[in-house]
Amino acid sequence: MNGHFPWLTVMAAVPFAGALAVAVLPAAKRTLAKNLALLVTLVELVLAIIVTVKFSPDGDRFQMTESYAWIKSFGVHWSLGVDGIGVVLILLTAVLMPILILASWHDADGPQVRMDGTAGESAAPRSTHAFFALMLAVEAMVVVSFAATDVFVFYIFFEAMLIPMYFLIGGFGGAQRSYAAVKFLLYNLLGGLVMLAAVVGLYVTTADHDLAGPGQGTFDLARIAQAVSTGELHISPGAEKAMFLGFMFAFAIKAPLWPFHTWLPDTMTEATPGVAVLVTAMVDKVGTFAMLRFCLELFPNASKTFAPLVITLAVIGIIYGALLAVGQTDIKRLIAYTSISHFGFIIMGIFALTSQGHSGATLYMVNHGFSTAALLLIAGFMITRRGSKTIADFGGVQKVAPVLAGTFLVAGLATLSLPGLAPFVSEFLVLVGTFSRYQAAGIVATVGIILAALYVLVLYQRTMTGPVKAGVEKMRDLNVRELVVVAPLLALLLVLGVYPKPILDVVNPAVDDTLSQVEKTDPKPAHPIQAPVEQAAAVTPLGGNK
């Protein structure tokens, strides 16, 4: 036992307990199940705020640490702790969950949709209890993933979250939900199996070096990272590269990174809007977070070796995702491809191995979570009203639902990183950090900004402007519940767009620690500026001789 209150364990336990409580409620108590799920996420939000306030950027790297023996024979401990990167991502998760519960208030009501997309009298009823219990379970697993400082504990929850996600996609999605759910599961399971081999290899390597005692290995992240940094744990170049690739393969699928991305468009298209946000704003962030936390710190030399390759794939993903978004006819599928492009920016920032790139990538994770949540949820409200997600079925929405159209425009402008909105700062930092080390990649990636403006503005023009299409004329504007969902997201996009300093102040110390582990420093300018004293000495005094 540690001598302080186990805040992080409590944060994991609250949504787990809430999921169990929601699941065992009587079947007729649908409204009670929703209210209880909302209450649990609000309690979790309060806990996340407390943890964030208690976290000191000037303190130890990992804070609020806990460590309890779990499987002693294999050196597995229930070890949790947060650094600046982990704490802001936990806060992101806690802020989004009450919003998603409210946005999904009616997503599990009514009969289950059949495979052909219809819902007749014979269709089985949906389980409201299961839907919200599964969402709470995902929240708990994501929180543990962001806080785990034991490699094995991280792996367990990294994989376990696939189970509730599979049922959320396959049980409550659209006509092709089963196909999307199976594809999601198989892709991510394959990545997890490859990662498991790398996890075993890492443990065997630590046992060979007696890190936890004679002949004993460890999964302790901090202990392994320190041993790698000091040279106490020497991993052969071939073994380090193999283990890096094992970890990176799993994270690249989860993120996703091109060309391991193909499950994401199907999943986001078929999932309910709330579950689609759960996937891209939280679950996928575990993949990019893990690249920073595990790939760079455990395998620094391999990370530097493969950085050019990963950046190349990221740049391809930026352009590929943006180009395919331009040509989509399905609103949700278009948003899915924009996320692939945005994840390319995040991963490019991570493997640029610069302080600006890392800070920008972490801030990008937060800002992308808010901007994509806003765009997807507002699009979901619009699709529910029209009964279609095909872009051609919309037109003139701003004439009949001006508030819906206005909020959709702000969310879209945030997605294209308009200055003054949150994603601009993070995208700028990523591009600056990348350009200072990989100029060609930085230049090509800027094309993604131009394409983003194209797919967002064309989407808005085709759906919101022009004559009112048939089926749109009676579309209702946003109601009070939907405004409560949208308002905090837009407010955060505005506030973080003009004042991202609080997040960067928390993140930057962790960024510096990560870069020191990889033994990388920011590149020096090719033409350094002269110091003021040198400049003064070089100036000829007025009327004097040089």
For the cut 50, the answer to whether the pLDDT of residue 441 exceeds it is yes
83: left (phi over 0), alpha (psi -120 to 50) or beta: beta
Q: Averaged over 354-369, what is the pLDDT?
A: 92
User: Quick check: is 35 in a domain?
Assistant: no
User: What would the pLDDT profile of 157-198 be if each residue is shown by its tens digit?
Assistant: 999 999 999 999 988 877 888 899 999 999 999 999 999 999
User: What would the pLDDT profile of 469-513 be if each residue is shown by its tens digit?
Assistant: 888 888 898 999 999 999 999 999 999 999 999 999 999 988 888
Q: Averaged over 384-410, what is the pLDDT?
A: 90
User: Quick check: is 285 in a domain?
Assistant: no
Q: Averaged over 342-359, what is the pLDDT?
A: 92
| Alpha-carbon distances of 213 from 216, 232, 298, rounded to whole Å | 5, 13, 20
| Alpha-carbon distances of 31 from 15, 167, 382, rounded to whole Å | 18, 21, 24
User: Quick check: is 528 in a domain?
Assistant: no
Highest mean pLDDT: which of 362-366, 393-397, 473-477?
A: 362-366
User: Quick check: is 412 in a domain?
Assistant: yes
User: Quick check: is 455 in a domain?
Assistant: yes
Which pLDDT belongs to residue 222? 87
SS (H, E, C) 404-445: HHHHHHHHHHHHCCCCCCHHHHHHHHHHHHHHCCCHHHHHHH
User: What would the pLDDT profile of 3-21 be if each residue is shown by its tens digit?
Assistant: 588 999 999 999 999 999 9
User: What would the pLDDT profile of 94-129 be if each residue is shown by its tens digit?
Assistant: 999 999 999 988 887 755 444 334 444 434 445 888
Which pLDDT belongs to residue 12? 94
Total domains in the fold of the chain: 1
For the cut 50, the answer to whether the pLDDT of residue 1 exceeds it is no
| Alpha-carbon distances of 9 from 47, 50, 116, 141, 322, rounded to whole Å | 11, 14, 43, 11, 40
Which pLDDT belongs to residue 521? 66
Q: Averaged over 409-417, what is the pLDDT?
A: 91
Q: Averaged over 369-376, what is the pLDDT?
A: 93
Distance CA 451, CA 465 (A): 20
User: What would the pLDDT profile of 463-476 be if each residue is shown by its tens digit?
Assistant: 998 888 888 888 89
Kindly state the tokens that stand for 110: 């009514």
Which pLDDT belongs to residue 522? 67
Which pLDDT belongs to residue 110? 57
User: Quick check: is 86 in a domain?
Assistant: no
| CB 150, CB 218: distance < 8 Å | no
DSSP class of residue 74 equals: G
Non-local CB neighbours of 31 within 8 Å, separated by 6+ positions: none
Which pLDDT belongs to residue 212? 66
Taking all residues of the chain, what is their mean pLDDT, rounded to a whole number?
87
Distance CA 156, CA 196 (A): 10
User: Quick check: is 366 in a domain?
Assistant: yes
Q: What are phi and psi of 111, to 5 degrees?
A: -75, 155
For the cut 80, the answer to whether the pLDDT of residue 358 exceeds it is yes
Which pLDDT belongs to residue 157? 94
For the cut 90, the answer to whether the pLDDT of residue 207 exceeds it is no
Domain coverage including residue 398: 303-521
User: What would the pLDDT profile of 29-78 be if each residue is shown by its tens digit?
Assistant: 888 999 999 999 999 999 999 999 999 988 888 999 998 888 887 878 89
Distance CA 230, CA 226 (A): 6
Distance CA 190, CA 188 (A): 5
Please report which confidence band the pLDDT of residue 537 belongs to, taking 50, 70 and 90 as the band edges.
very low
User: What would the pLDDT profile of 280-336 be if each residue is shown by its tens digit?
Assistant: 999 989 999 999 999 998 999 999 999 999 999 999 999 999 999 998 888 999 999
For the cut 80, the answer to whether the pLDDT of residue 451 exceeds it is yes
Q: Averaged over 199-215, what is the pLDDT?
A: 82
For the cut 90, the answer to whether the pLDDT of residue 388 exceeds it is no
Distance CA 370, CA 421 (A): 11
User: Quick check: is 51 in a domain?
Assistant: no
Which pLDDT belongs to residue 520? 61
Residue 131's Cβ-count burial label (10 Å; 0-12, 13-18, 19+) is buried
